[in-house]
Amino acid sequence: MRVSVNNREQDVPEGLTVRALMELLGVDPRRTSVALNGRVLLIAEYDTTRVSPGDAVRTIRMLAGG
Amino acid sequence: MFAEARILEVDLSALTCTERRLPAETYRLYPGGSALALYLMFQHTPAGADPLGPENALVFAASPLASLPVAGQSRMTVAARSPLTGAVGDSQSGGFFPAALRANGWDALVFKGQAPHPVYLYLREDAYELRPARHIWGKVTGDAEALLRQELGTDALEIAQIGPAGEQQVRYAAVITMCNRANGRSGMGAVMGSKLLKAVVVPKKARGLKPADQKEFMTLNTRVAEKVAASPFMEGLHKYGTAGELTDHAEVGFLPTRNLSTGVFAEAEAIGGKTMAATILKERDTCHGCAVHCKRVVEVAGELDPLYGGPEYETCATFGSYCGVGDLTAVSKANMLCNMYGMDTISCGATIAFAMECVEQGILSAADTDGLDLRFGNAEAMLAMVEKIARRQGLGRLLGEGSALAARAIGPAAAPLVMAVKGLEVPAHMPQYKASLSVIYAANPFGADHQSSEHDTSLSMPADHWLRQRLDLLGPFPTQMPGDLDADKVRFAFSTQCFYSLLDTVGLCQFVWGPTWQLYGPEDLIRLLRAGIGWETTLGELLKIGERRLNLMRAFNAREGFTRAEDKLPACFFQGLPEGPAAGARVDPDAFARAMELYYHYAGWDPVSGNPRPGKLAELNLGWLAAGQAG
């Protein structure tokens, strides 16, 4: 299925959980959040929320000062 | 129980030193670091003092925790009226000097007047003397340090010094320790140079402070290496240093590039922390008592001397992407030169990037640049200009004034190219992405600063993440996107600014201690203060101390005529970025205007002048400021 990841269209497997999507994208859930259709998800939702066709996914990496 | 502070007042004009004690009840209001330095500035610096004149007191103030065996405590503020901005000047550094200063029993040093000839202060636990420094005047930091060790007959010394740039009063000259740590921002090295004070030397001490409660202290300090390894943020700092995140900034299209005209830099990977670790990294260095080891030491035979450390993220950006230079060795050379000559890498790199854009736009010609082809991407010209600035030769004389003053001399066409707030060049975090920084950059009393508040992405982490639960101690705050700038975001900015202000006062590293992602959180800090120095305190008292310091700085500026009119951003931040994944991103001018009003409201400052009102000062035990008294 086709979803938008960080404003780029991308094909991902059907029925993917958010946690599986993060693994697929290679992002570290300890320091990166996921906004699904504009809402930042709780960590508690990563295993129970599935990505649907046409969803807009944004990953936000923790970037501090320094 | 809070102890009294031990302070050395040095009258350089008279070449005399006098030991003073600050009562414990006063010290508790201004407990070290920046707040103590500001309190002492109000005691010693009259209104209207020339920043480079004898009346401008220069203050060193250590963390009250410095030399305890725990990570992040060896910190020191150097403060004075800034010759770069005319506002309050304030800078912090780590390393080993602050721990040695405190282990020798000193909390603060106040330098007044101007010496009749170059001198250095040799300070021990029970003795102090001003010694001639003519033989090290003009020397780069590494040479001066070697000569001082030879003269004093021991290597067991910690040395804070200026290089030739400070002697030449480059307005962003730094105070350097270990030849590679800098109290960099706002030109404190130039103030030190104006006083003909070359160095402060203290002996190393085998033992530092003894924790007030050893048992509780050890609970904070057990298995730190495991904690560092378990934290993704500490792990990243250890492996790749602060420059590890450079490519992450680039990936989202917000790496400040070519004088901040874009957020896209094609050569970002070449100048980042991962490339550094894979190529020129020699060693991961540390500060006293710290297991994180975030400091870099780089080496290239014949080109890069490891004595001068390695570049931080800010340095990789200012001499890299700001200048369009994708050569990590060249960036590291610029870092080395700044540490040799004693200059702030942010202001130096950003001022050269400003000059490069002037050249690109035809505002400066080859005749103006001493024949150098000072265009974006020319690493050789960049490095040549660093040396010219340090020695104030040719165009370097003008660029040593900083970008804002240089633009005034160059002409009106150069003014829009100045990327500074209150004259302090902006660091490498774009407010077009991290929206709260638009407010902090504008409002911060000493100019645009990236280490004065928590950054927006903390609020974009999931609400059930451990770092958000820490942050809730200051809040709670709703989850926000980095670019949001509503009332909650401004409240987040001000609250975390107060916390960071506290950290710069009790003198703790903001990577190790902080309100969100750091190794230790706010509750750990309260335990540290109790177990470390026997200070029974609360988060409420600590945040009040942070707010007090902010008000001290703002009141200092008000005394010098500053108002909210100086709380303004470079115009380019309000224009959309031209390219890349963040094309079109900008600071919304209406949202920014509303946010500033909210900021003054949260700060309790006069919305017309932007300065503290008498009632706010009284609430913070600063009523003496409103009354025009000396504290």
Sign of the C-alpha dihedral computed for residues B43, B47, B49 and B54 taken in this order:
negative
Cα atoms in the Cβ-side hemisphere of radius 13 Å centred on A39: 8
The radius of gyration computed from the CA coordinates of chain A, to the nearest angstrom, equals: 11
What the block records as the tokens of B280 is 């020129």
Q: How far is CA A47 from CA A13, B459, B460, B463, B469, in A?
A: 15, 22, 19, 16, 21
Closest-CA distance, A3 to chain B, in angstroms, reads 17
- For the segment B343-373, what is each residue's pLDDT rounded down to a tens digit? 999 999 999 999 999 999 999 999 999 999 9
- For the segment B570-626, what is each residue's pLDDT rounded down to a tens digit? 999 999 999 999 999 999 999 999 999 999 999 999 999 999 999 999 999 999 998
Cα atoms in the Cβ-side hemisphere of radius 13 Å centred on A13: 11
Which of A33, A64, A65 faces B462 most closely, judged by CB atoms? A33
Beta carbons of A65 and B463 less than 8 Å apart: no
- For the segment B44-61, what is each residue's pLDDT rounded down to a tens digit? 999 999 999 999 999 999
Query: Is A28 near chain B, with CB under 8 Å?
Result: yes
Closest CA to B13 of B108, B109, B110, B117: B117
> B605 has which bridge partners?
B612
Query: Is A47 near chain B, with CB under 8 Å?
Result: no
The rounded distance, in Å, linking the Cα atoms of B202 and B189 is 18
Section B425-450 average pLDDT: 98
- For the segment B96-146, what is each residue's pLDDT rounded down to a tens digit? 999 999 999 999 999 999 999 999 999 999 999 999 999 999 999 999 999
pLDDT computed for residue B281 by the predictor: 98
Query: Is B248 near chain A, with CB under 8 Å?
Result: yes
Query: Is A42 near chain B, with CB under 8 Å?
Result: yes
CA A19 to chain centre: 8
Amino acid at A33: S
* Other beta carbons within 10 Å of B439: 25
- For the segment A2-41, what is each residue's pLDDT rounded down to a tens digit? 999 999 999 999 999 999 999 999 999 999 999 999 999 9
Q: How far is CA A13 from CA A1, A9, A10, B580, in A?
A: 6, 13, 10, 28
pLDDT band at B327 (very low <50, low <70, confident <90, very high): very high
* pLDDT higher than 80, residue B1: no
* Secondary structure class of B385 (helix, strand, coil): helix
Residues of A in contact with B450 (CB under 8 A): 65-66
Asked if A34 contacts A57 with a C-beta cutoff of 8 angstroms, the reply is yes
Section B447-452 average pLDDT: 98
- For the segment B208-221, what is each residue's pLDDT rounded down to a tens digit? 999 999 999 998 88
Q: How far is CA B494 from CA A64, B18, B34, B516, B535, in A?
A: 16, 39, 18, 15, 25
The rounded distance, in Å, linking the Cα atoms of B46 and B559 is 10
Q: Which of B461, B489, B500, B518 best probes binding to A when mutated, by most A CB atoms within 10 angstroms?
A: B461
The rounded distance, in Å, linking the Cα atoms of B250 and B533 is 43
Closest CA to B358 of B392, B428, B325, B406: B406
pLDDT computed for residue B631 by the predictor: 61
Asked if B273 contacts B332 with a C-beta cutoff of 8 angstroms, the reply is no
Beta carbons of B314 and A66 less than 8 Å apart: yes
Per the document, the length of chain A is 66
Section B306-321 average pLDDT: 98
What the block records as the tokens of B431 is 């407010």
CB burial string B15-36: b at 16+ within 10 A, e below? eebeeeebeeebbbbbbbbbbb
Closest CA to B10 of B138, B141, B152, B108: B108
Q: In terms of DSSP H, where are the helices of B402-538? A: 403-410, 436-443, 466-471, 487-506, 522-533
pLDDT computed for residue B626 by the predictor: 83
Query: Is B463 near chain A, with CB under 8 Å?
Result: yes
> A59 has which bridge partners?
A34
Asked if B120 contacts B198 with a C-beta cutoff of 8 angstroms, the reply is yes
* pLDDT higher than 70, residue B630: no
The rounded distance, in Å, linking the Cα atoms of B334 and B309 is 12
Which of A28, A35, A64 faces B517 most closely, judged by CB atoms? A64
Calculate the average pLDDT of chain B.
97
Beta carbons of A43 and B232 less than 8 Å apart: no
Instruction: Please state the three-class secondary structure of B243-306 as a single string.
Output: HHHHHHHHHCCCCCECCCCECCCCCHHHHCHHHHHHCCEEEEECCCCCCCCCEEEECECCCECH
Q: Is the pTM of this model over 0.80?
A: yes
Residues of B in contact with A64 (CB under 8 A): 233, 245, 454-455, 457-458, 517
pLDDT computed for residue B226 by the predictor: 87
Residues of A in contact with B434 (CB under 8 A): 63
Closest-CA distance, A14 to chain B, in angstroms, reads 24
What the block records as the tokens of B315 is 């340095």
pLDDT computed for residue B165 by the predictor: 98
Query: Is A26 near chain B, with CB under 8 Å?
Result: no
Any idea what the Cα angle at residue B477 is, between residues B473 and B482, rounded to 5°? 125
Closest-CA distance, A27 to chain B, in angstroms, reads 12
Q: Which of B240, B245, B516 best probes binding to A when mutated, by most A CB atoms within 10 angstroms?
A: B245
Query: Is B479 near chain A, with CB under 8 Å?
Result: yes
* Other beta carbons within 10 Å of B327: 17
* pLDDT higher than 90, residue B458: yes
Instruction: Please state the three-class secondary structure of B45-58 as a single string.
Output: CCCCCCCCCCCCCE
* pLDDT higher than 90, residue B2: no
Asked if B534 contacts B213 with a C-beta cutoff of 8 angstroms, the reply is yes
Instruction: Please state the three-class secondary structure of chain A as a single string.
Output: CEEEECCEEEECCCCCEHHHHHHHHCCCCCCEEEEECCEECCHHHCCCCECCCCCEEEEEECCCCC
- For the segment B193-202, what is each residue's pLDDT rounded down to a tens digit? 999 999 999 9
